[in-house]
Structure 1
Amino acid sequence: MIRLKFLPGGETIQAFDARLADVWQQLLINPLGKHVLVVAHLFVCNGLLRQVIEQPLSRIMAMDLPYAAMSRVRHERHALGETTFIEWIGR
């Protein structure tokens, strides 16, 4: 069970995760050959990377990123479908 403290009346973890899923899908429609830079808070980066590797919501902090971490994700479209790679995670 996820035990994170949120402000009363704030966004639930499920709503946050759904919003991240929408953002990830929008990033995937980036035109071929173009790069996208995402600058975000640690919790957002953890959530996006968790979605890339298709971990369940219960593993929202699975990536265990350090502060000021930079990560590189590559998404490829090819004849057989699409593939996403996390090329590196770190500072």
Structure 2
Amino acid sequence: MSVTTIDLLRHGETEGEGVYRGQQDYLLTEIGREQMQSVLTDELPWQQIITSPLSRCASFAADLSRDTGLSLAYEPRFIEMSFGQWEGKTAETIEKNDPHHFFAFYDDPVLNTPPQAETLIAFQQRCISAWQAMLKQYGQRHILLVTHAGVIRLLLAHILSMPLQALFHIDVPFACLSRVEVYSDGNGDFARVLFHAGRL
């Protein structure tokens, strides 16, 4: 039986705080970079870094790769969900100007997609596709995946067999670190969450 370990790291605080960032390319603040740096220890366990190509993830991943010599791969399927017309706007603004869509989305995000946004089903399909490809290419290694809150929620929900409607019940703060182990015996995979919102 082979084992692959994946540490999921959310980016830290960004510019434009308080808005739906989605697929817009906001930069990390200095505080955000410090938040991500704070999860590291002198002895890093990883053998491979994979990152979303958006700057708030990729800039930290590239610096870590440069400083440690760890191999780095960019995976665009691990970018955040597109929020369409909501991107760049605060929840307060959206709630005030479009309360119907706003509350409907949080009541049932599967059936109520924000205007011009990516559907949750499409988001799920691309993230799980990237996850499966990652396991195939980097199996039996210890991987650091630097990505976004929505991606982490979706992957954890997938592993835990949670309905998509419950996605927002998972809190993913800045620089949140979660660890997953995936066991494979050639006939299928079994994944389990070892910790969430932890530290190395």
TM-score, with length taken from structure 2 = 0.39
- Structure possessing the higher relative contact order (Cα contacts under 8 Å, 6 or more residues apart): 2
> Comparing 61-70 with 43-52, which one deviates more in the overlay?
61-70
Letter in 1 for 2:163: P
The equivalent position to 1:11 in structure 2, one of 93, 118, 130, is 118
CA distance in 2, matches of 1:62, 1:26: 27
CA distance in 1, matches of 2:120, 2:178: 23
The equivalent position to 1:22 in structure 2, one of 118, 126, 129, is 129
CA distance in 2, matches of 1:23, 1:81: 17
Cα RMSD over matched residues? 2.3
Shift in CA distance, 72/63, structure 1 to aligned 2, threshold 3 Å: same
Q: Which residue of 1 aligns with 2:159?
A: 52
Q: Which residue of 2 aligns with 1:37?
A: 144
- List runs of 5+ in structure 2 lacking aligned partners: 1-106
User: Which consecutive segments of 4 or more residues in structure 1 shift more than 3 A?
Assistant: 3-6
Between Structure 1 and Structure 2, which shows a larger proportion of helix residues? 2
> Residue 39 of structure 1: SS of its match in structure 2?
strand
Q: Assess if the C-alpha contact under 8 Å between 2:182 and 2:191 holds in 1.
A: yes
> Comparing 49-58 with 20-29, which one deviates more in the overlay?
20-29
Count residues in correspondence: 90
Q: Assess if the C-alpha contact under 8 Å between 2:181 and 2:194 holds in 1.
A: yes
Report the structure number with the largest CA radius of gyration: 2
> Comparing 26-35 with 56-65, which one deviates more in the overlay?
26-35
TM-score, with length taken from structure 1 = 0.78
Q: Assess if the C-alpha contact under 8 Å between 1:46 and 1:65 holds in 2.
A: yes
- List runs of 5+ in structure 1 lacking aligned partners: none
Letter in 1 for 2:157: R
